[in-house]
Structure 1
């Protein structure tokens, strides 16, 4: 879709019409082959894919328990997902691969308006963005909850779809662990949460209230996923393996 074909909403504050869209060709075209390769090692079960809107902008908000969460969210979701990924991974061959796959680098330890505007560019253009509100791999129980998913939903009016990942890290497993051969990972999608587009200026209270609502829906989905799959979250990371993560969230500077 060209910039001229985008809805007029792209010029709303904060603007994103001047931002380059992340690359799409490998993310879209490479998913069948990627699914085949991954399933040669472990199984992936997708539950309630019908809950993800087939068209239009969407924000997929997932818990974060293991190293494979981001790739699986991008590859196995019902539609391609441009996932926010920590900028430290965008180095060398891996960085080039992530860029080619259309993933969005996020500088977690400094103000990063580029990541925000890139996500807005994707969603306003009718695409899907993936975000982990916890900000880092951990127990997946949403004890920490950044405001980025709700913020994107408020700015664009796009639905926020809760996602629960189970099985990418075994109980007691470390930050770099991946599913073993023959293991199974479950991706459970929840009903979309529509926050309604809130025009600038958006207040901190509005974003905070919207974040609490998204978190409540995600917590309810965790309970649903436990019953549906018969499995549970892996528990906390081993001592010393929890990543640093500034508790900031994705709010553009200049908004109240």
Structure 2
């Protein structure tokens, strides 16, 4: 009988905490960032943060401003040299985008099943951030990890006309709002792909509504373009 493969190692909490210690100092110094809704996030148990993806700062801002130590799925291209070593050291998970990266998802599920928090950007790439479509990996993680989903709106991290790889001007106003926690409906009448598709639709609707409402509430509009032309 073949033994089951060992569960992926989970980064110690103190190392993941570095994201918060360093990130809050950095963003508090360089930008005018308003953070809303930290008190809405469950203090214990597995949590999956799902955010819209507008600019390059969304990734580091999520674990820096979250109220709990958070491991984020980060594109594999960044895991090179000293930066790659540091990203792994503070708990982030390399993922090959648009591929259904099984290794990355397995590592993220291990964090959730240990009672930790994971962040993911289900749109898969930076763009307008209006959540017009999402990939299924986020819903799969929530279901497999038994995680509560917390939508996160990132506003002001990229201006219209700016490249998706560019940094906002120093001192720019940005808003990060954590939404109310949601349990994805586990429809027992559906199986396999149909169940995952239904959960993905629910997750997309929850995140899209949260982003739209936060944009109106804080009077910070999303970019009018996806940044592709500026990047080219």
Q: Provide the C-alpha distance between the structure 2 equivalents of 1:206 and 1:86, rounded to a whole number of angstroms.
A: 27
What SS does structure 1 have at the residue aligned with 2:59? Answer: helix
Alpha carbons of structure 1 residues 189 and 17: separation in structure 2 relative to 1, 3 Å? farther
Which residue, 128, 142, 159 being the options, matches 1:153? 142
Where structure 2 has 5 or more consecutive residues not aligned to the other structure, the ranges are none
Q: Provide the C-alpha distance between the structure 1 equivalents of 2:50 and 2:5, rounded to a whole number of angstroms.
A: 21
Which residue, 50, 66, 80 being the options, matches 1:77? 66
Q: Provide the C-alpha distance between the structure 1 equivalents of 2:195 and 2:178, rounded to a whole number of angstroms.
A: 25
1:194 matched to which residue of 2?
A: 183
Displacement over 6 Å in runs of 4+: none
Are the aligned partners of 2:41 and 2:150 in contact in 1 as well (CA < 8 Å)? yes
Q: Provide the C-alpha distance between the structure 1 equivalents of 2:195 and 2:98, rounded to a whole number of angstroms.
A: 24
Q: Provide the C-alpha distance between the structure 1 equivalents of 2:164 and 2:33, rounded to a whole number of angstroms.
A: 20
Alignment pair present for 1:241 and 2:228: no
Which residue, 30, 35, 46 being the options, matches 1:41? 30
More helix per residue: 1 or 2?
A: 2
Q: Provide the C-alpha distance between the structure 2 equivalents of 1:16 and 1:184, rounded to a whole number of angstroms.
A: 47
Alpha carbons of structure 1 residues 77 and 111: separation in structure 2 relative to 1, 3 Å? closer
The number of residue pairs the alignment matches comes to 227
1:175 is displaced (CA, Å) by: 1.8
What SS does structure 1 have at the residue aligned with 2:33? Answer: strand
Which residue, 205, 209, 225 being the options, matches 2:194? 205
Are the aligned partners of 1:168 and 1:185 in contact in 2 as well (CA < 8 Å)? yes
Where structure 1 has 5 or more consecutive residues not aligned to the other structure, the ranges are 1-14, 243-256
1:60 matched to which residue of 2?
A: 49
1:110 is displaced (CA, Å) by: 4.4
Alpha carbons of structure 1 residues 169 and 214: separation in structure 2 relative to 1, 3 Å? same
2:76 matched to which residue of 1?
A: 87
1:34 is displaced (CA, Å) by: 2.7
1:26 matched to which residue of 2?
A: 15
Alignment pair present for 1:124 and 2:124: no
2:168 matched to which residue of 1?
A: 179
1:217 matched to which residue of 2?
A: 206
Alpha carbons of structure 1 residues 227 and 16: separation in structure 2 relative to 1, 3 Å? farther
Alpha carbons of structure 1 residues 61 and 46: separation in structure 2 relative to 1, 3 Å? same
The range that moved more, 157-166 or 190-199, is 190-199
After superposition, the CA RMSD in angstroms is 2.2
How far does the alpha carbon of each residue in 1:218-238 deviate from its partner, in whole angstroms, 9 at most, with x for none? 121122201221111113214
1:21 is displaced (CA, Å) by: 1.0
